[in-house]
Amino acid sequence: MLLGGALDTLMETLILTLFLVVPCAGLTAAGVILCRRWRSAATAMIALGFAATLLIVGVLGMWVAAAGTLWHVRLHR
């Protein structure tokens, strides 16, 4: 019974990681493509923010990416 609980916990952790890592990796790639196309500080913030979220500083990286996105949208609206 103890082994079944440990496997359930491991599977939940893997699924949660998959749901967090895959979208962040995709958004990082999209940010890099956007940065190569527009070459601005706002698009660099988007790419670096999502990369930071993926690699190290979760919430702070999301704030940076969100601020960069708002800035970019405001500039090109």
Show me where the domains of the chain are located. Answer: 22-75
> Which are the contacts of 1, defined by CB distance < 8 A and separation ≥ 6?
none
Q: What is the model's pLDDT at position 47?
A: 96
CA 27 to chain centre: 6
Q: What is the pLDDT of residue 4?
A: 66
For the chain, the maximum distance between any two Cα atoms, rounded to a whole number of angstroms, is 58
List the chain pLDDT tens, one digit each, 77 residues.
456 677 788 888 889 888 888 999 999 999 999 999 999 999 999 999 999 998 888 899 999 999 999 999 999 88
Angle between helices 58-75 and 41-55 (to 10 degrees): 160
Q: What does pTM read for this prediction?
A: 0.79
